[in-house]
Structure 1
């Protein structure tokens, strides 16, 4: 029997279903050689001191990043702040320079969970289960704790780990009133070509105070605004062609070794993005603490991120006709390792896509703690959250027809973007030769609602309790997700218009364009022309089908319970427990089905139920006052992305080639399941110096991959090339890794002024056994690596303080990431190249209340690059985001 969303709300309110908090902390032994209390600790050193203390105090294997002296994380977003945590990296927003998804220990973001005060929030992305971190302001966090080993009290959907954002409390620091904030203004050196270049920057404030009799009430208020005004250039040359260097014949890399073949670029495409990105955030918490038995908090938060983007693109493609008798390209000649000649182009294109995206999260949370007796604690809470995604996109496409006018020579330099030299540049760059080809307006809407209840009972399990203890709890999460897409696609009637009337005076000469400039035009003028001349356009008859076949609704109900026992001595703690999680999933969507030449659209509903027993155990031993040894075992899950579970089927037909692409979901996808083994050694010299080494093994079953299969097959009664893209469960994988971490907040053993030096450095090394996939020919192929997982993650943060001045530099390294996998041709796999980011900052503390700050971001000018082909030797795509420079101040009252 189905229960309505409102019914679930009443059910939770009436039964107080719940789950445990992560709030247990282990006893902290006093550290030797404490710093003198009169030393003022600020900035990077203050954060590092807090991070060492947090790592020592948390029961599980963990790392964290803490707020600075103004109570906020000193980065532009939660994702950027997390890259300073050992073993943490992030997946950027389409490589555009903003941290979006979390990777723990180099593992795919789908392996991990993001929570706020112990509650997972709904996802605000179309294609993922994850929360988009660039929506969450860093001012929200007092500390972010990353748990790398799990207990039964924690959410089971976390193979890699859990990042838990802990919000500020008014009772922190003894409940003293606090008001702090920051503001800065900056500029990206890659500026917008159109739309103006107002300054980038941010403003955020955090305030807290206690009041009432005996200061039993508290309030925290925070606000944040961030703006980024910048541009990006994306150079793309995807799906290269291959020619046998001896015979000159076309090679099929799916069946023939192409490692020594000559490569022919199949497209040269430049995409120039003008962006205005803004983030707004507000947070308020009302607290009560009677300082005896009960404390509670009622929290409200709302934050959202907008992206106003104008994407201009120019491209040219060759005519790839093959002469059957000789199996050679008819219009591609003089092919060598360094270049060749294209005697006829398939088409040249100028297009513009105007996007306005808005992603948001808002939630209300109540949390209470009751201590009815000595050594007993009851924890309970209720959270209601809504995540939204909306995008309005309008695309205008103009094309110049195929023929010898589009002929060109091309040259190739290893590791560089190919250069196209037009034989008739006056023709190719003349807007009058481009006719309107397509006009499309597509709004996307998604809303996800999640109602979460949790509670637990803990007896004799607090940090100072000794002997036997027990904890138990309940958890329930009811999620409802809806996605709606409308497609309005129009083709021009004969003689509609050329590109010439819409061209604007602005243009851009790419750094790799060798003097060639892009054609820019005004998309708003095209929209006005479209609206004023409806008779010049014909609606695509498949618009209704195309929109409906993308829509889906999904509900996921998770209920869980756990029991956990604990035995503690002064230096030793043993914890073991088991968690039960039951999942009920239902998806409804439309699918196109074809019988002969008849295509129909049918609505269907699918679902599945599964349950898991998730045991865990923790061993924690203070071998000495300075040496701590931890060992852990846990079994955890990795549930599939929502869009992968939607049983929809989206079919698109290329209007030029008539090739068909079918994207399908898979409502029967099984979750990943993993047995995790962890061992950690932590050596605390004092509060300022810490070294740690951790090893881990994860045995993952039912890995999930998105695979593509391209073959000739009947479609609508005609045999054509059909590419099917579908998520599947692949074989299992074993992931072995080592994590090394060192923090020295000050080198007081050095003579002055060198004693102001400090650093934090860490590296994570993975040795995975990648999964294998079934190829279209029935064979199995082992992948080159895990998808979206880096085998090497490194971070180094060095800082130097002398008097009121602090200098800081931060370097982040990420080894290559596999992005997509082909089941027909391994050379079509795509991965990101290794990346190195360097940021720097200088602070000058003028007084306790005011600090001046200047910083540079991406000073290494890292360019995210995608590679493909044999040995990933072909540069498929390269993005230039540029450097950024900011100056501002920190204030505290």
Structure 2
């Protein structure tokens, strides 16, 4: 239903634009595209600003680049339409995002998650600060420090091979933009989140500050300097009611526990194993800036030196309450399809942890463009960058005995389990909760260093008709080190430490419970450990985790390419080949003797070709073929395993140094129509990707008995899948103004896009009898590629009247898989999600503007479900936010 609503809304945009084809008079051939960096745009000699300027700049950027590409651009107040880059990019055709506690964080292009993308800043590679993957955490980079973000979806030979989904290039400002006119722009706003009262910590107002400055100087204005900076802070709670591990039990009519819900004897009534509630309090701060010194004495020479620094700090408190079945052999009594009574074998737990994520990106870049002769260009680039993550964590947990005193009734009629205790007095007595561990401390550090050098030669660099040639060489070295220190103190026999010793006085009843949640004073936990060390011992497993998790990976890529181009007034053909040699070395730093080192060396030959044909000045056809690679994640390559135990779940995870890189053959075909007088753009495209050696993490789940207690054992290891492919359709329409419809419609603008994606992915089947009984064969199909929605789309309606400017934006993300399990009925998926945002601006003067916006207008949240019958797993409710601010430009 959601998908058809999206298609219907987008089709209205197509009809409106189609009407303009008949209404508009033919336009003369254009002399060439406008400079993509213009921050205000002329339409019929009328200068447009605000949201119309952003739309017009996106059109010009799409038309100007040789590849199939889409962009999101800043307006004349030097702002993108959203607070972080991931949110801004969610407006681009075929792009969806992955959220973390209500904020967009990772970007998926054409259904391919962030691991498939390659992120750059002005063409230089950006390091990742994600603990385990190559994904760039786009919420680190403030949206106000860039002029434009390009999403490149087809690949020519001069672009890096490491991109299957797409390339994201952050384009910073230049002092030579906008004909070299200097400016000083800034904005300040204050925000408020609805989720502000659930936990014991007080929530403070949120804020956003940013500024950008550009100037030229020197006798002939040959020098330029541009800088930008920003600070952003958010403070809010996120509520997450959950079903532990996505696990449900199923029984037959006699009450016997079954190994699969697909068993024909099943009574079809799902029983949740537990319903933990997580309450997150996140204070996120983001600051950053760029500075660029430029030299351009004439059109034949340009040089620049640029530096950037971005930091994101996320201070998180997570409070957890959990009620869990410890004995699942017998079926509940009084069972109905949505309810039942659990009368024995129940344990309750309460835990709190505090952690901080400190992510930093910094880099310096140097570049020179030289034109030694007419039509020739030599470019030299070099850069150093570092990404780092510090993640300290401290936690404390308490748990009751397994007892019939915690008997409860569950009710799933509202979509997720609600537990009601038969004897709530036992649950509500904190003295019934001895310590499981008084102190769990980890300190995780990750550092990634990048060094890059490139030289490129371009003949016919001015894009004139005839033949042209490009060739180049690039060397990139990446070094990543990951270190974990793990310490846990557990109580010894006779310890007297109880939840009642450290309980905070705060009342909050979360979703899924009819009694309040527990909150722990972690300062008192630390103090108790210091005062009573004899009651605790150091857990021996912590030392093994500290060493097995430490690794170093070094990756060197040497690349060369050659690209030939042929142009006429209508036709552009280019074809070339890129060759990349990749050398890897991974080492487990925790092994003292017989050091575990794995080395790899492989060569990828990547042919690429593209055709562009202009039927007339408005109608353009693009066709492209390319081969690209996706190298394995760093954590997947580590030659070690790690064991963790938390709340009755033992997790064993490890790397696989034998993983092969993904290799994809990409096919693209798009048709673009640019409305006369640059009043809009329509585009439709199809694409197909064949992916060999797709990588996925396969999880095995079983129940083990340790010291008389049933515990869940979860093993996870990355593997190469059999194969994967996806095919998709993209549609986009950008209409800065609907003036061709006449009357009041001239005040409105419309941007709409959607993508429909179908993937065919299979994974190796496991040998367990319970799975082979229902899924015979050596492989099985999964819902789709990891985090790949089958439908994504956006509709933005803008309104401009005099000094008033507004935008109502709708975003749709279809369901997508989040975990592939060895038991297929426990695969996990994000359900479809819709969000609405509203922004409004008013020009007080030509230089000052008041802004207001509501994020997540309808209080939407991401929900995960079970692959079997869409049983509820978890959701994260971040709530709405409201912002009021002022902007200026001098």
TM-score normalised according to structure 1 size? 0.91
Aligned partner of residue 740 in structure 2, secondary structure: coil
Cα deviations by residue, 1:660-704 (Å, 9 ceiling, x for unpaired): 532110111111111111111001113121111001111111111
Write out aligned runs for 1:467-866 (5 A): 467-493=466-492, 494-513=494-513, 515-589=514-588, 603-652=595-644, 660-686=650-676, 687-710=678-701, 723-777=714-768, 779-823=778-822, 825-866=823-864
- Does residue 881 of structure 2 align to residue 884 of structure 1? yes
- Provide the C-alpha distance between the structure 2 equivalents of 1:521 and 1:573, rounded to a whole number of angstroms: 66
- Provide the C-alpha distance between the structure 2 equivalents of 1:887 and 1:848, rounded to a whole number of angstroms: 19
| Counterpart residue number, 1:230 | 236
The structural deviation recorded for 1:240 is 3.0
Whether the 8 Å CA contact 1:105–1:160 is kept in 2: the answer is: yes
**Which of residues 206, 216, 223 is equivalent to 2:212?**
206
Counterparts in 2 of 1:601 and 1:866: CA distance versus 1, 3 Å: farther
Write out aligned runs for 1:210-359 (5 A): 210-238=216-244, 239-253=246-260, 256=263, 261-322=268-329, 328-329=330-331, 332-359=332-359
- Provide the C-alpha distance between the structure 1 equivalents of 2:273 and 2:511, rounded to a whole number of angstroms: 21
- Provide the C-alpha distance between the structure 2 equivalents of 1:310 and 1:654, rounded to a whole number of angstroms: 17
| Counterpart residue number, 2:865 | 867
Cα deviations by residue, 1:631-680 (Å, 9 ceiling, x for unpaired): 01100011111111111111235785xx7532110111111111111111
Cα deviations by residue, 1:466-486 (Å, 9 ceiling, x for unpaired): 211100000111111000000
Counterparts in 2 of 1:653 and 1:508: CA distance versus 1, 3 Å: closer
Counterparts in 2 of 1:528 and 1:714: CA distance versus 1, 3 Å: closer
- Provide the C-alpha distance between the structure 2 equivalents of 1:319 and 1:228, rounded to a whole number of angstroms: 39
Flag structure 2 segments of 5+ consecutive residues without an equivalent.
1-29, 36-40, 769-776
| Counterpart residue number, 2:16 | none
Whether the 8 Å CA contact 1:106–1:764 is kept in 2: the answer is: no
Which stretch has the larger CA shift, 222-231 or 773-782? 773-782
Flag structure 1 segments of 5+ consecutive residues without an equivalent.
1-25, 323-327, 593-599
- Does residue 103 of structure 2 align to residue 80 of structure 1? no
- Provide the C-alpha distance between the structure 1 equivalents of 2:250 and 2:155, rounded to a whole number of angstroms: 52
- Provide the C-alpha distance between the structure 2 equivalents of 1:260 and 1:827, rounded to a whole number of angstroms: 16
- Does residue 90 of structure 2 align to residue 90 of structure 1? no
Counterparts in 2 of 1:189 and 1:401: CA distance versus 1, 3 Å: same
Counterparts in 2 of 1:453 and 1:119: CA distance versus 1, 3 Å: same
Whether the 8 Å CA contact 1:242–1:261 is kept in 2: the answer is: no
Number of aligned residue pairs: 842
Whether the 8 Å CA contact 1:304–1:361 is kept in 2: the answer is: yes
Aligned partner of residue 134 in structure 1, secondary structure: coil
Counterparts in 2 of 1:627 and 1:655: CA distance versus 1, 3 Å: closer
Counterparts in 2 of 1:182 and 1:721: CA distance versus 1, 3 Å: closer
Whether the 8 Å CA contact 1:258–1:870 is kept in 2: the answer is: no
Counterparts in 2 of 1:272 and 1:165: CA distance versus 1, 3 Å: same
Cα deviations by residue, 1:168-219 (Å, 9 ceiling, x for unpaired): 0011111111100111101000015333222102000000100012011111
Whether the 8 Å CA contact 1:587–1:645 is kept in 2: the answer is: yes
| Counterpart residue number, 1:7 | none
- Provide the C-alpha distance between the structure 2 equivalents of 1:259 and 1:754, rounded to a whole number of angstroms: 59
- Provide the C-alpha distance between the structure 1 equivalents of 2:786 and 2:359, rounded to a whole number of angstroms: 25
- Does residue 142 of structure 2 align to residue 173 of structure 1? no
| Counterpart residue number, 1:15 | none
The structural deviation recorded for 1:256 is 2.8
Whether the 8 Å CA contact 1:432–1:499 is kept in 2: the answer is: yes
Which stretch has the larger CA shift, 744-753 or 419-428? 744-753
Whether the 8 Å CA contact 1:225–1:281 is kept in 2: the answer is: yes
Whether the 8 Å CA contact 2:250–2:267 is kept in 1: the answer is: no
Whether the 8 Å CA contact 1:590–1:602 is kept in 2: the answer is: no
- Does residue 135 of structure 2 align to residue 137 of structure 1? no
| Counterpart residue number, 1:14 | none
Whether the 8 Å CA contact 2:551–2:590 is kept in 1: the answer is: no
Aligned partner of residue 486 in structure 1, secondary structure: strand
TM-score normalised according to structure 2 size? 0.91
Write out aligned runs for 1:103-122 (5 A): 103-122=108-127
The structural deviation recorded for 1:38 is 5.0
Counterparts in 2 of 1:470 and 1:532: CA distance versus 1, 3 Å: same
Whether the 8 Å CA contact 1:240–1:263 is kept in 2: the answer is: no
The structural deviation recorded for 1:857 is 0.3
The structural deviation recorded for 1:258 is 8.3
The structural deviation recorded for 1:358 is 0.4
| Counterpart residue number, 2:166 | 161
| Counterpart residue number, 2:3 | none
Whether the 8 Å CA contact 2:721–2:763 is kept in 1: the answer is: yes
Counterparts in 2 of 1:663 and 1:78: CA distance versus 1, 3 Å: same
Whether the 8 Å CA contact 1:496–1:537 is kept in 2: the answer is: no
- Provide the C-alpha distance between the structure 2 equivalents of 1:834 and 1:734, rounded to a whole number of angstroms: 22
Counterparts in 2 of 1:714 and 1:185: CA distance versus 1, 3 Å: closer
Cα deviations by residue, 1:18-44 (Å, 9 ceiling, x for unpaired): xxxxxxxx983699xx96565331111
